Amino acid sequence: MEISRLEGIIEAILFTMGDSVELSRIAAAIEHDEDTTRKIIHNMMDKYEASDRGMRIIELENSFQMCTKTDMYEYLIKVARQPRKYVLTDVQLETLSIIAYKQPVTKLEIEKIRGVKSDHAVNRLVEYNLVCEVGRLDAPGRPLLFGTTEEFLRRFSIHSLDELPSLNSEQVETFKHEAEEEVQMKLDI
């Protein structure tokens, strides 16, 4: 089968499915191995980015999804109702960071790190589909475990959790020192 035909099939799959589709499923559909399929998709991604098309293909953890280019949003808004946007508060960002780096993690573990209750922040992040329940801890009470979603990867424009920035030990010590100073200031008041 010629490349343009394979690209057309892949385009139809991604367009129709809407959500991300695993590389293995796409490869099976076009009857090629995963490496070849990945090369075809990456070639398509380059073509979409180089042209003035309104669509692009993104990669999310060994899956691919067709979506609108961000510079087209203003035109979509003119046609459709403005999509619901949400702004993450500092508390929600802090909670999301803990979940992203420590996952799977329980609310109790999040609260130990933050030092305050985190029910509301976690519930909001679940509502925004940035985190989800990923199981239960095998411990008394079987508390829920939380992890990030594909929507988290999409919103933060990363392909996998491996792309999260890592902190060096010097930064960690600086953060600890700042937190201790903040606690001490609150105690002195």
The pTM score is: 0.56
- In this model, does residue 149 exceed pLDDT 60? yes
Give the H/E segment covering residue 186: helix 169-188
Q: What is the CATH number of the domain that holds 27?
A: 1.10.10.10
In a domain, 175, yes or no: yes
Q: In 18-140, where does DSSP find H-type helix?
A: 23-30, 34-50, 73-79, 90-102, 107-114, 119-127
pLDDT digit string, tens, across residues 170-180: 776 776 677 67
In a domain, 83, yes or no: no
Which residue, 51, 78, 105, sits at the end of a domain? 78
DSSP 3-18: HHHHHHHHHHHHHHH-
Q: Is 63 helix (H, G, I), strand (E, B) or coil?
A: strand
Which residue, 39, 55, 78, sits at the end of a domain? 78
Quote the CA–CA distance of 5 and 29 in Å, as a whole number: 13
- 65 and 105 share one domain: no
Which residue, 33, 48, 78, sits at the end of a domain? 78
- 131 and 180 share one domain: yes
Which domain does 24 fall in, by range? 3-78
- 102 and 168 share one domain: yes
- 177 and 106 share one domain: yes
Tell me the pLDDT band of 189, cut-offs 50, 70 and 90. low
- 68 and 149 share one domain: no
- 98 and 178 share one domain: yes
- 98 and 170 share one domain: yes
Residues 6+ apart with CB under 8 A from 150: 19, 20, 60, 61, 63
Give the H/E segment covering residue 65: strand 63-68
pLDDT (average), residues 82-97: 82
Both ends of the chain: CA-CA distance in Å? 74
Q: Is 31 helix (H, G, I), strand (E, B) or coil?
A: coil
Domain count, the chain: 2
Quote the CA–CA distance of 106 and 145 in Å, as a whole number: 5
Provide the Cα torsion 150, 154, 160, 162; round to 10°.
Answer: -120
- 110, 122 Cβ separation under 8 angstroms: yes
In a domain, 32, yes or no: yes
Tell me the pLDDT band of 10, cut-offs 50, 70 and 90. very high
Amino acid identity, residue 106? T
pLDDT (average), residues 142-161: 91
- 132 and 66 share one domain: no
pLDDT digit string, tens, across residues 127-144: 999 999 999 988 888 999
- 43 and 95 share one domain: no
In a domain, 85, yes or no: no
- Average pLDDT of the chain is 86
Q: What percent of the chain has pLDDT over 90?
A: 46
Beta pairing partners, 136: 144
- 19 and 61 share one domain: yes
Q: What percent of the chain has pLDDT over 70?
A: 90
- 155, 130 Cβ separation under 8 angstroms: yes
